[in-house]
Amino acid sequence: MKIGIVGGGAIGLLIAAYLSNEYEVTVYTRRSAQAQRLMNEGLRFVKRGETKRVSLQAMAFAEANINDDLVFITVKQYDIATIINHRNLFDQVKTVVFLQNGMGHIKLLSPLMEKNIIVGIVEHGALKHDDRTVEHTGIGKIVLASLYGTFGQAVNLSAKSISDFPFEFANNWENVLVKKLIVNAAINPLTALLRIKNGDLLKVKPYYEMMKLLFSEFKQVLPIEDEQKAWEHIVSVCQKTAENYSSMLMDISQNRKTEIDAILGYVLEKGKELGITLPLSQFLFYAIKGLEEGGTKNE
């Protein structure tokens, strides 16, 4: 099976590192220089202090005529529209897997409903050190669910059980994405604003209370079946990732755009649809937007 991976970031390179042993993998990068480097020097994969070189194919996305059996899209939420508008990708490809945090991309995917469109969440931790080096920092799983059509060629992913890199298949895409959304909505904006590690949301009582208030507010507008279980899940992710800085805090500290639109922006849209005002979510949304727009640069 031929696998394409759009985006040579942390998650794209992590998937490439694991799937290259079993399949023919091509990484489609934004920059030609990254593709050249991956082709010439190979991918450097780091896990538990050990380093391995992985050979794969790579080329610039803009120049590619993609005809792989299965394509993973691993760009950030805010780059999804550019990817979808790339006509070559979707002419020949039948099955596409979108692996973004948040839920902003769902409404963009309806033009693709004639294909097998799969959405999923990544519960691994991955850190990109440079254009050819990725480190597997937290072992978890990838959970996939079908949005349109069937699982298509993605079913093959369960046939080979790859150690430390399992795929799980779920029935209800909304449940899968909401479970991750609530974690990112509770943890990411608060940690980015307060500049704290995920674990501090539990350790520092007033921060814990802030997270609880935020959850009590946004749970009103999301399809959550069991509120107690959902809260316990957020707490357990804070515990498991206690020493981590959230991706939003990392984005803010490195002056990068964040995925706030697809996380709290999505929550606020739901509030609008339901006629429910969400002042805490709105406040945090503006705070992160302010930081994105240069708050940090003025320090």
Ligand X SMILES: CC(C)(CO)C(=O)C(=O)O
Exposure string of 258-284, with b = 16+ CB inside 10 Å and e = fewer, is bbbbbbbbbbbebbeeeeeebebbeeb
244, interface contact from ligand NDP, ligand X, none, CB < 5-8 Å by kind: ligand X
Q: How far apart are CA 4 and CA 245, in angstroms?
A: 30
Judged by CB under 6 A, does residue 100 bind ligand X? Answer: no
- Give the footprint of ligand NDP on residues 111-150 (CB under 6 A): 122, 125-126, 128
Q: Quote the CA–CA distance of 178 and 262 in Å, as a whole number.
A: 12
- Which is nearest to 262 in space by CA: 277, 250, 242, 248? 248
237 binds ligand X (CB under 6 A): yes
Per-residue x/- mask for ligand NDP, residues 42 to 61, rule CB under 6 A? -------------------x
d(CA 35, CA 42): 10
We find the least distance from the C-beta atom of residue 234 to ligand X, in angstroms, to be: 9
The region of 83-91, 209-217, 243-251, 289-297 touching ligand X under the rule CB under 6 A is 243-251
Burial class (CB in 10 A: 0-12, 13-18, 19+), 297: exposed
> How far is Cα 133 from Cα 8, in angstroms, rounded to an integer?
10
Q: Which of 184, 218, 221, 281 binds ligand X (CB under 6 A)?
A: 184
User: Counting contacts by CB under 6 A, is residue 8 touching ligand NDP?
Assistant: yes
For ligand NDP, the closer of residues 104 and 152 by Cβ is 104
| Contact (Cβ atoms closer than 8 angstroms) between residue 250 and residue 291 | no
- Check 76, 115, 180, 270 and give the catalytic one: 180
Query: Which pair of tokens denotes residue 179?
Result: 């479970």
Interatomic CA distance for residues 106 and 146, integer angstroms? 12
Between 91 and 164, name the residue whose CB sits nearer to ligand X: 164
User: Rounded to an integer, what distance in angstroms lies between the CA atom of residue 290 and that of residue 109?
Assistant: 29
Which of positions 146-165 make contact with ligand X (CB under 6 A)?
none
Angstrom distance (rounded) from CA 209 to CA 23: 47
Number of H helices, E strands in the chain: 11, 12
11 forms part of the interface with ligand NDP (CB under 6 A): yes
* Binding string, residues 65-84; x marks residues near ligand NDP by CB under 6 A: ---------xxxx-x--xx-
Among 246, 267, 271, 284, which residue sits at the site for ligand X (rule: CB under 6 A)?
246
Residue 222 partner contact from ligand X, ligand NDP, none using kind-dependent CB cut-offs of 5 to 8 Å: none
* DSSP code per residue over 139-169: ---EEEEEEES--GGGGGGGTS--TT--EEE
**Catalytic residue at 180?**
yes
Contact status: 187 vs ligand X (CB under 6 A): yes
Residue 79 interaction partner, one of ligand NDP, ligand X, none, beta carbon < 5-8 Å per kind: ligand NDP
| H or E segment and range at residue 127 | strand 125-130
- Residue 187 partner contact from ligand NDP, ligand X, none using kind-dependent CB cut-offs of 5 to 8 Å: ligand X
Question: Which residues of this protein are in contact with ligand NDP, per CB under 6 A?
Answer: 6-12, 28-31, 61, 74-77, 79, 82-83, 99-101, 122, 125-126, 128, 247, 259
Active site residues: 180
Contact residues for ligand X, defined by CB under 6 A: 101, 183-184, 187-188, 198, 237, 241, 244, 246-247
